[in-house]
Amino acid sequence: MASLFVKESIEPKACTLKCDPKVVYMTCPSSGLAKLYQVCVNCCTAGEDCKLYGYDESLACTGEPQSYISAS
């Protein structure tokens, strides 16, 4: 019987330093939750607990501590 669950890798995810063009603004606890526009971030490079939002104002992701960032 085949498993319906996909086993997630425990390998660290490589993160790039590229800007995510879908991110319109972000909020961070350190900025008093003000909307920060014209940011060059992605889900990996955002500061811890910063929230990234798209054009429709939906939450794209929340920044987390990263153990590995790739310059590629």
- First CA to last CA across the chain, in angstroms? 40
pLDDT, residue 16, reads 82
Q: Are 18 and 42 in contact (CB under 8 A)?
A: yes
What are the tens digits of pLDDT across the range 19-58?
A: 999 999 999 999 987 999 999 999 999 999 999 999 999 9
